[in-house]
Amino acid sequence: MGKVLNLLKDKKTQYVIIIWILLVKVIEIAAGLLANIELLKFFVLLGFSHLSAFSYIVWDVIVVFTVILLIYRLAKDTFQISLRLKRPSKKGFISIVLLSSWAVSSIMAVLQFSLVASLPSNNPRLEISKYYMPCGTIDNELTTCFTINEMEHGAEVTLNLSKSLFLDPFSFYNVGEISMFGTKDGGLSYFAVKSSPDGQKVVEMRFFGNCTDGLDGWFANKITLEKPLQVNESTMLVLLLKLEPSSDKTAWTYIKLGFLSADNKVLSLVWKFHDKAVNSAFYSEDQKMKMYLLGSAVNWTFSQFNLYDVFYTSFSSHPQSLISIEYGVGAEADNIITANFLLAKISDYPLKVNGEVVESVNPTVKMEGFSILFQGINVSRLYVTLTLKPYSEKRNFRLCLSKISRFEEYMWNINVPEREFEARIHFNIANNSTKIFLSGKEVLLKAHGILSYEIESLQGEVTMIFVNEVDTYFMPIVSIVLVPLLILYIWRNIKSQHEMEVNIAFYF
């Protein structure tokens, strides 16, 4: 232990440690700056953005002390400036203690205030969602038009394709050639087209494993087209699907399209989705099939592909016609997995909303006027979510003797006829102790980490207030204990000095 202390007292050791700590700080700063550039975002990994608030404070304190130590060392070693502390008198000692206590408590109070002040905004977003019916079609019924009446609020509009109803969502959905492996007998694995209570068609495929651990099983339905479908430069595959996750992250589902190429070769493309974020692409050994692994689909996933382009990119050859479609689902055989397709459509047009190609299940729509133009697939009911901006936003602080509080207040107006919509408020609570008041009533979240709240039958003005409070243990010391003590101490000092001056004057 003594050796270690001696080593730490050594000037060179101190410099090595100082340089090391400052080097780590430089890495942090450089990583942070480089990560701001879009292309170099990955530098964030070298930094410490994931550290907890406590670790970050400790790290910052260490850096500050390192800088102070560096200044001290440089002053001593380069400029021969040395600090020698005199032993203070009794009065001086009391002054130092009082001053340091006051300084520490003030710093703590300021820190507590800055902690509350710097808490991220709760940023609530009030969303109302409802079904819209088409108000007409244009371009020979290729485009469906919807009118959004509530746009006067300056709302942002998001569509939810998984809740919308499509008129003809599947190009091929008959049962063809079934193949399976590692499944339980008795028709427990199946391919079926079902209808939801809203009338929405869904292809449901189930893989019921035979309970063997470590065995990869599957269920597939291959539909061979009697009349091959011609593929041209604008033929699209539009998919909207969801895969139930497995217990061991082994589930997958795919759609496989068999093509006849321009030079009469049979080649296949596979779009495969997992319950884990797997992104990759590779060829079969005979180079006749290219498989695209497209990440996790445990939530509704929308994607669309230009078949002509993907085929050409994969095989450097042009497709002539589509000859088969295969749906598949599988996992390790100790799982029961269901895959649902809401869209599996071969279309001559890409799915576009207001002229923009749709790339996600919840596309945000750029509104020009009050209309949404839905192009590519016929839709009978569109589920639209409007995010309303609050018409008033206020933030203020309240300082009490034992508490610092921050208030955030937001106000909206809802003017949508009742029972036609679902309303929900999303927010980011700054911390678990945040109190939330919705139109005067406290909202008690049942569990930590709940970030959204459903509103029931609210109309007119909606007010939401977030309150963050922190108990300030040092404020009383600052103001109650220390201030009177200081006053007393200074008053006595002045008095004794005065007496001393009087005595000196008398002596002379």
The residue from 3, 9, 50, 87 that contacts another protein (CB under 8 A) is 50
Find the shortest distance in angstroms from Cβ 240 to another protein: 23
The yes or no reply on residue 102 touching another protein (CB under 8 A) is: no
Nearest residue to 420 (alpha-carbon basis) of 459, 468, 376:
459
Burial class of residue 273 (count of CB atoms within 10 Å of its CB; 0-12, 13-18, 19+): buried
- Residues 21, 239, 241, 325: which binds another protein (CB under 8 A)? 21
Q: Report which secondary-structure segment, H or E, holds 308.
A: helix 307-315
**What single-letter DSSP state applies at residue 40?**
G
Query: Binder to another protein among 127, 326, 332, 408 (CB under 8 A)?
Result: 332
- Angle at which helix 2-9 crosses helix 11-35, to 10 degrees, equals 70
Tokens 């930590």 found at: 448
Position 48 contacts another protein (CB under 8 A): yes
- Looking at beta carbons only, is 127 or 275 nearer to another protein? 275
Indicate the residue among 284 and 459 with the shorter CB distance to another protein: 284
Sheet arrangement for strand 371-375: 136-138, 143-147, 371-375, 352-353, 356-357
Q: DSSP characters for 26-46? A: HHHHHHHHHHTSGGGGGGGGG
Binding test (CB under 8 A) with another protein, winner from 117, 135, 167, 277: 277
Least gap, CB of 72 to another protein (angstroms): 20
Alpha carbon distance 493, 501 (integer Å) = 12
- Judged by CB, which is closer to another protein: 156, or 248? 248
Contact mark string toward another protein, 174..203, x via CB under 8 A? ------------------------------
Least Å distance, CB 111 to another protein, is 21
- How many angstroms separate the most distant Cα atoms in the chain? 127
Q: Which is nearer to another protein, 252 or 383 (CB)?
A: 252
Nearest alpha-carbon partner for 123 in 445, 456, 451: 451
Q: Residue 493 is encoded by which pair of tokens?
A: 């000092």
> Rounded to whole angstroms, how far apart are CA atoms 265 and 320?
10
Residues 208-267 that bind another protein (CB under 8 A): 214, 216, 248-250, 252
Residue 151 burial (CB count, 10 A): 14
Residue closer to another protein (CB basis): 107 or 277: 277
What is the distance of C-alpha 28 from the center of its chain? 23
3-class DSSP state of 253 = strand
Verify binding: residue 55, another protein, rule CB under 8 A. Answer: yes
Give least dist CB 42 to another protein, A.
Answer: 4
Q: Does 65 bind another protein (CB under 8 A)?
A: no
Q: Does 34 bind another protein (CB under 8 A)?
A: no
- Compute φ and ψ for 105, nearest 5 degrees: -65, -35
Q: Looking at beta carbons only, is 16 or 71 nearer to another protein?
A: 16
Residues 281-310, one symbol each (x = binds another protein by CB under 8 A, - = not), give: xxxxx----xx-x-----------------
Residue 146: CB minimum distance to another protein, A:
38
Of 128, 126, 127, whose CA–CA distance to 419 is shortest?
A: 128
Kindly tell me which residue out of 59, 190, 312, 407 binds another protein, with binding defined by CB under 8 A: 59
- Return the C-alpha torsion angle 29, 30, 35, 41, nearest 10: -130
From CA 434, how far away is CA 198, in angstroms rounded? 39
Minimum distance from CB of 465 to another protein (Å)? Answer: 32
Q: Which residues bind another protein (CB under 8 A)?
A: 12, 16-17, 19-21, 23-25, 27-28, 39, 41-43, 45-46, 48, 50-52, 55, 58-59, 62, 214, 216, 248-250, 252, 274, 276-285, 290-291, 293, 330, 332
